[in-house]
Amino acid sequence: MADKLIASKANFGTMPVFLTAISTILGAILYLRFGYAVSHTGLIGALLIIIIGHLVTVPTAMAVAEIATNRKVEGGGAYYIISRSFGLNIGAAIGIALYLSQAISVAFYIIAFVEAFMPFSEYLLSSFPEYAEPIRFILTDKKIIGLTMMALLTLLMLTKGANVGMKALYYVVFLLFISLGMFLFGSGLPDFDLDKVNFIGTIDNPDSFFAVFTIIFPAFTGIAAGLGLSGDLKEPKKSIPKGTLWATGVGIVIYVLVAFKLVMSAPLEELAADQLIMSRIAIWGPIIPIGLAAAAISSALGSIMVAPRTLQALGVDEIFPSLKLNSIFAKISPKNNEPINASVISCIIAFVFVTIGDINMVAAVIAMFFMVTYGAICTISFLEHFSGDPSYRPTFLSRWYISLGGAILSLWLMFKMNALYAFVSLIFMALIYLYISKNNENKGGLVKLFRGVIFQLNRRLQVYVQKEDYNSPDHYWRPFAVCISDASFDRRDSFDLMRWISNKYGFGTYIHHIKGYLTKETYNESKLVMKKLIEMATGSDNRTYLDTIISPSSTSAIAQVIQLASISGKGHNLIIFEYPRDNSEKLNDIIKNYSMLEAAEFDVCILGTSFRSFGYRREVHVWIDPKDINDSALEVLLGYIFLGHKDWKDAVMKIYAVCTSESKAVERDMLIEQIKGGRLPISPGNIELVKKDPNKSLNQTINNHSGGADLTIIGFDSKEIYEGTELFDNYTELANVLFVNSLNFKHLE
């Protein structure tokens, strides 16, 4: 695309950008509708319209200048900037809306020109009465005049192209400034008393503020006009920011001056009744219709130069599903590099809206499409700031909060201006996006941008969490768990356990251990294992971070893992091991490395798996032993976390507290109060105190009560683990067992 969008004779500088923008800003609405705005909203309302309008256009102008100085800007103007930042699919959706607004703008300015022509028409009819009758219907029919002017403009563009339009702009803008100067230095209406100047009032029964704003807003859309010349500029990175920002600044000053001049020169009723009231205020009245004609023609020239280039860029990017259609839109004239077919199509659209002839309706359509475009440009700028992409290095810098403000204000104004038009515009663009995405699957870009935003958000949150130290040993405990296993594809039990832990209440990292030294062979193996892990996790509602580690032994692997940072921004506080209960070798491996876990101050969970696995996931039994009081709260919390996962949605948790005294009722009440204080949804009916039988081992008692449980959670003392595997033996009647050792007591409150 790039080569096709660079004009072979790209020789325009900053002045054409400024002239194109300013001639659109100081266009037909200033001459025809600004008196209406002042009369219906008052001076304060008119100034507020200027302020609000520029609260959208100034951030957009700054965003445009920023994005334009970051990358090479080629033909296609605003569409090029949007598509290269958001991706071709969403860029095309906005680009088509932008193109339509540009093409319809041509009709808007031709209709405005007709209004300027009517005084001249009346002058001709009165000056040459002998010729008046045969030509009266031509000179008084606004549609005939509009269609005639549209035909002349079409002929001019198709034969001479942008160069003649640019030459004409110099003369047109000169006339425009002369007419505004004569207006500003003119006197008020003869019968108007300066003592009656109304700075705060409005006419009776005025139109609503946002109805007036909708009609006036297209006056501020000139910033997009200069963008359309991007393919014809020598140095777009220099010319676009300078020309756009200068035009915006000059436009603000002139609109404020005109608002004050109107209020101080005529009664509000006169401003509302007379579209060409400015001609009665100016030093020489005819200069205002001349200036209006110049403004309308210059704006029409600007739009007719810009619109075809946007359509051409869409065709060059092959946005449309038909290759033939794309080639038609992309075709340029070899003689002068003009987008010949795109110009014809743009002129046809303009002819249709000239025929409609309703300037207020056309203004509302233009305002809505431009508002969508400006909101998108500001959003791009904000997201680029926030994503922290190192390739985004503009030489002109806006501020992220300015762009965000422009984006939010644009969306809000769309619905305030016309909620129906806003919904239709957004749905229209969404349908275009979906259609284009279906036919152009590989033209995305939005995912890349939002991935950068999510990366930055995650990075900042991690740093914040680490600084705030939410991982207090006494309060607000939540699991930052890590699990290491070399049996990921033989048994899923530990993987499922990590899924449940990290689903809602904590963070989980699951690491598959590959035994060996880091070589090319083991590295390639780790990539294959990682792919298998991701495939295994797909479709299982997995929110666990997956990884692999290459290490020669389990000891070295554990030593490495316990020093890894958690994805949460905090260190891990809980480590999970897994062993099959019929294989004591794995358990011995865990026991011999236990001193490292104590040194690193980890809570430890050891999952003993059986052929029953987690059964039907209907019951979780938690066993609390008074001698392991530190473990009790962690056991209950883990049980509660497991039941929060949809895999356990129909399950219940039963708590068995081993009792050594005769006062079972008192101990039970104390346990219930602690659980209530922790606001855990456990029914008192599911809490049972079990008196320790001196003739039976605890293992036998647990086997008797929890043989039907799908998961049994049992606490253990870290001192006992060094005595061997006996602590974990003889639970033959149970399904999976989770042995829990807590570094310190976790409060349930």
Q: What is the 3-state secondary structure (H, E, C) of 425-454?
A: HHHHHHHHHHHHHHHCCCCCCHHHHHHHHH
Integer Cα distance of 357 and 598 in angstroms: 83
The CATH number for 480-741, chosen from 3.90.180.10, 3.20.20.70, 3.50.50.60, 3.40.50.12370, is: 3.40.50.12370
- Write the burial class of residue 194 (CB in 10 Å: 0-12 exposed, 13-18 middle, 19+ buried): exposed
pLDDT digits (tens, 9 = 90+) for 455-484: 566 656 665 665 655 444 445 677 889 999
Please calculate the CA angle 120-126-129 and round it to the nearest 5 degrees: 130
Residue spans per domain, the chain: 2-7+16-317+327-375, 480-741
Per CATH, the homologous superfamily of domain 2-7+16-317+327-375 is: Amino acid/polyamine transporter I (1.20.1740.10)
What is the Cα–Cα distance from 33 to 49, expressed in whole angstroms?
Answer: 13
Give the Cα separation of 647 and 740 in Å (integer): 21
**314: closest CA among 24, 109, 103?**
103
Q: Which of 1, 570, 706, 91 is nearest to 330 (CA)?
A: 1
Residue 220: DSSP 8-state: G
Distance CA 150, CA 301 (A): 11
State which H helix or E strand residue 562 sits in: none
Enclosing H/E stretch for 476 = none
State CA 457 to chain mean position distance: 13
d(CA 677, CA 398): 52
Q: Where are the alpha helices (DSSP H) in 469-576?
A: 493-501, 520-537, 554-561
Q: How many helices (H) and strands (E) does the chain have?
A: 30, 10
Sites in the chain below the pLDDT cut of 70: 1-12, 68, 70-78, 81-82, 84-86, 123-124, 127-137, 158, 160-168, 195, 223-233, 236-237, 334-337, 359, 386-393, 439-476, 567-570, 626-629, 660-685, 745-749
Residue 495's SS3 state is helix
Please tell me the chain's helix, strand, coil percentages from 3-state DSSP, rounded to the nearest 5.
Answer: 65, 10, 30
**Single-letter residue type at 12:** F
**How many of the other CB atoms lie within 10 Å of CB of 556?**
14
DSSP for 295-355, written as a single string: HHHHHHHHHHHHHHHHHHHHHHTT-SS-HHHHHHHH---TTT---HHHHHHHHHHHHHHHH
SS3 of residue 29 by DSSP? helix
DSSP result, 58-103: HHHHHHHHHHHTTS---TTHHHHHHHHHH-HHHHHHHHHHHHHHHH
Task: With beta carbons less than 8 A apart as the criterion, state whether 232 and 10 touch.
Answer: yes
Q: Is 190 exposed, middle or buried (0-12, 13-18, 19+ CB in 10 A)?
A: exposed
Within 13 Å and on the Cβ side, how many CA atoms surround 695? Answer: 0
pLDDT at residue 104, as a whole number: 86
Does residue 238 contact residue 14 with C-beta atoms inside 8 Å?
A: yes
Rounded to two decimals, the pTM is 0.63
User: What pLDDT does residue 472 have?
Assistant: 47
Q: What is the spatial distance between Cα 653 and Cα 713, in angstroms, rounded to a whole number? A: 10
Instruction: Say which residues have a Cβ less than 8 Å from residue 298's Cβ, sequence separation at least 6.
Output: 19, 23, 24, 27, 168, 169, 172, 173, 176
Gap between the Cα atoms of 236 and 75, Å rounded: 10
